Amino acid sequence: MPIYHAVGNIPRKRHVVFKNPKGGIYYEHLMGTTGFDGPASLLYHLRQPTQVIREKVLKPIPWEKDPDQRVRMRHFRLFKAEPGGSFVMDRMPVLYNNHVAVSWAQPTSTDDFFYRNSQGDELVYVAEGEGVLESCYGELPYHQGDYLVIHRGITTRMKLGKGKQRFLIFEGSGYYRAPSKYRNEHGQLMEHSPYCERDIRRPTELPVYDEKGEFPIVVKRQNMLTEITMAYHPFDVVGWDGYYYPWALNINDFEPIVGSLHQPPPVHETFRNDRFIVCSFMPRLFDFHKDAVPAPYNHSNVMSDEILFYANDEFMSRKGIEMGSMTVHPAGLIHGGHPGKYEGSIGKKETKEMAVMMDTFDPIYVAKDPIAVEDMDYPRSWLPKE
């Protein structure tokens, strides 16, 4: 998130001698995007962050599409997928194209290695669970409803807390940012934005690990996981400052925009990536025109595939979904509320729905993996019951 932030000890000037009181100097490390022109931070390590002992290929990540790619409505009950394993190694592929890959993880133990995605930015929605996102930028506690934005190249580890852990991960080819319509020319979120800088959480605690040994980092690049082993603990940063770091926004801090008549999905936009957006549908008062129809009209999203993840058991225009459901409404079909939902919404005062939506600007494939938890009746669920 492009807001200046600083944690720990840093020298007054950049690129100058920064003495370590134990002797020697700290090692400066610039981490940034778009050559040297994009958001960047300067970190100061105890040791040179370049000391790799060895590397080995762990596994390719062969995302395979569902062989049945008929254009149809899809519904997956992701909570029914088998939990277990690692946040990094045991993600279930769900949807993908060249610009975004959506996966589902329900890890049961904290990894004994670190992780660095050097292929894409990750947006992790915490459907259930709590813990701490550890990184070389410090600690960022997480809890249910958090969006964790982990820009590419950042070394992290998810330290799982108590209870079930369920994560929906949107890996994007571009940089995650707040929609430009909510930012002024100086980058600040404006008064009409549904969230502001005060809602954004940044790392504040910076434990410094002064440890030598063998420390594996799983690096994702070119759809492959490689383990690199470092000669020191990667979280040996004594201070940093800049604009490039992991950050969090809780979905409950997204204040919905309402109107006298139905507001279209762009009012729910929360994050933008290069070829898709992510929106938050939050509990809100319904439209207040005396003749308003609050439920959405039928629509053809002719240039987008629409993906919805249901963060609770309610959605104003749908039946038969539950918390953890994911629906895919591809371009090529007209979609709208389930029978009775359109008329039934007239006169209603509020909705308690909560959902995370992704609209892609390019067609997306359903992977073969979530078929096991698919609701096969969903494509016909708009037909009147006999």
Strand-pair category, 212-221 with 114-117: parallel
Q: How far is the CB of 335 from Fe ion (least distance, A)?
A: 6
Across-strand partners of 99? Answer: none
Across-strand partners of 176? Answer: none
Nearer Cβ to Fe ion (151/268): 268
Amino acid at 180: S
Q: How far is the CB of 329 from Fe ion (least distance, A)?
A: 6
**CA-based torsion, 207, 107, 352, 294: positive or negative:** positive
Q: How far is the CB of 76 from Fe ion (least distance, A)?
A: 17
For residues 117 and 128, what is the distance between their CA atoms, to the nearest angstrom? Answer: 22
Q: How far is the CB of 150 from Fe ion (least distance, A)?
A: 28
Q: Left if phi > 0, otherwise alpha if psi is -120 to 50, otherwise beta: which for 15?
A: left
Q: How far is the CB of 336 from Fe ion (least distance, A)?
A: 8
Q: Which residues of 174-191 are buried (b: 16+ CB within 10 A; e: fewer)?
A: bbbbbbeebeeeeeebee
Query: CA end-to-end span of the chain, whole Å?
Result: 52
The residue with its CB nearest to Fe ion is 306
Nearer Cβ to Fe ion (57/302): 302
Nearer Cβ to Fe ion (97/327): 327
Burial of 78 (0-12, 13-18, 19+ CB in 10 A): buried
Q: How far is the CB of 364 from Fe ion (least distance, A)?
A: 14
Nearer Cβ to Fe ion (157/329): 329
Nearer Cβ to Fe ion (195/315): 315
Nearer Cβ to Fe ion (306/375): 306
Nearer Cβ to Fe ion (253/305): 305
DSSP 342: H
Q: How far is the CB of 32 from Fe ion (least distance, A)?
A: 36
Backbone φ and ψ of 265, nearest 5°: -50, -30
Q: Which residues bind Fe ion (CB under 5 A)?
A: 306
